[in-house]
Amino acid sequence: MSKSRDRRQQNRPQGTPKGSTGSASKPQEQHQRNIIYGNHLPLYKSVQDVFIKVAPFKNRVGNPSLLYDKFIDVWHWSSNDPLNGIVKEVKTGRNGSNQESVIKLFLQKFLPLHQWARELKNDLEDYLQRRRELVRKLGGRTIRLRTEWRFMSGTGAHHPLESGFVWHHTLGVPYLPASGVKGVIRASITPLRPGEDASPEEIRSYFEKVMKVEELFGYESIEKEDALLNKLSDDERQRYNRSPREGSLIVFDAIPTALPKLELDILNVHYPDYYGQHEPPADWQSPNPVYFLTVGPDCEFEFALAPIARNSDGRTDKEKGERLLEEGEEILMEALNSLGAGAKTSIGYGRFRRSTQEGAQETASAATTAVASAPEGTPSPTTTTTAAPSGQDLRFEELQRQIGALRSGDIGKADAAVNSIANADLSPAQRRELARQLDAKLFPPGSDKKRQERQDKGWYKKLQNLIEKGEAE
């Protein structure tokens, strides 16, 4: 043993677990250190401190995904934790002495923690706003869809309680990765494949649909031994069997627009002994429910697509980009409506429909167009009396909410907030109003000194220009 290690052991306070760098000032922190060293978790000192502060499940939870995937240890919670009593209830037989009871109790007590994460809500809103700006600059579009029933993804992910779930690593919310979105689209064309006795016309029709999907979302080479291709001519086989390439659309992750409501569901194994290959199925065998986490119905997710459409000279082709977006959105909607995303789609999980807000805007817009094109003197239908809010109005309201959510005097987010106003597609009057609101938020009464210290900052000058002219420059 090295001399430095000897000195660390000599300086270790009495009662501190071996390997600890010091005693804990609070019994709860000492308890968590016992968990770390008692279970030989290979964590660095900085990570140990995070574990000690986060693992007790306080009412303020920063990232639930860390608690669910990384810091889970349901057999050691102290009496001060919201997850307390799991071991006691299982040992006393109140909920059955088996692992399923532990899983059930853990998930039931974990559910409300996701709603406590207030910081998570702010981070989610900031992330979505930044991504919307990116998609807009790329000439893309966002698509808001709602779950018709429950949604879950990641059941095959490894988890200590064998109850996998996919979380966004930095946002801590359930989501559908972009790879999963593209996978749903690919899977949606599989049922369209004709049988081996199909005619050449049916085969051509199928491969034309495949080519359209793969042109938009990327594709891989088709197996040369495909029996359907063998029924076509050499030229047709060569056309349908191309080399892999990227798609014409960029696909983004599907992210919930607000903290989703999490729900518990079960898979009931009615004949456990039979499936364990011990006994034949019988009614006297006790059901063995398997508990897992899901996203509840009517949760809004935001999908996003952006075109890769350029002319021969390398410039963006807006007309082509719009066509690609229309085709891509149509294929995406069909896949999510007919097949669904995530796990358990065969029983209705993962189906999406258009958000009612988006649908109402489209309906009102279509009605307004119909009235404008109707012959003079035609009575206006009642559905057109309420005009849909314009894109500028919606953006203005969204920025107003973000400014209102800022802490008074929070200079740290001033630069980003000013740029959001300056880059937004708004009228000068709307920019001036937002700039005034932001200025009042950043410099509340009594902040004269703080204002004077920041007059040379670029964002401050830009903010004052927005207040005076409605423009950043």
Model confidence pLDDT, tens digit, residues 143-197: 999 998 899 888 777 777 777 888 998 888 999 999 999 999 988 888 888 887 8
**98 touches 92 (CB < 8 A):** no
Give the three-state DSSP class for 219: strand
Average pLDDT, the chain: 73
Question: What are the C-alpha distances in Å from 18 to residues 1, 39, 45, 181, 308?
Answer: 14, 12, 14, 48, 58
Residues 465/466/469/470 CA torsion (nearest 10 deg): 160
* Mean local confidence (pLDDT), 416-437: 86
**435 touches 467 (CB < 8 A):** yes
DSSP string, 107-153: HHHHTTHHHH-HHHHHHHHHHHHHHHHHHHHTT-EEEEEEESS-B--
pLDDT computed for residue 307 by the predictor = 93
Q: What is the C-alpha separation between 81 and 444, in angstroms, rounded?
A: 38
Those residues whose C-beta lies under 8 Å from the C-beta of residue 394, and which sit 6 or more positions away, are none
Does 293 have pLDDT greater than 90?
Answer: no
Model confidence pLDDT, tens digit, residues 250-265: 999 999 999 888 888 8
DSSP string, 335-354: HHHHT-SSS-GGGTTT-EEE
Q: What is the C-alpha separation between 50 and 54, in angstroms, rounded?
A: 6
**Domain parsing of the chain, residue ranges:** 3-116, 117-362, 391-469
Q: Which residues are registered as beta bridge partners of 310?
A: 316
Give the three-state DSSP class for 250: strand
The secondary structure element, H or E, covering residue 294 is strand 288-295
Model confidence pLDDT, tens digit, residues 115-132: 656 667 888 899 999 999
pLDDT computed for residue 32 by the predictor = 52
Q: How far is CA 332 from the centre of its chain?
A: 17
From the number of C-beta atoms within 10 Å of its C-beta (0-12, 13-18, 19+), residue 72 rates as: middle
pLDDT computed for residue 49 by the predictor = 64
pLDDT computed for residue 113 by the predictor = 67
Q: What is the C-alpha separation between 405 and 329, in angstroms, rounded?
A: 32
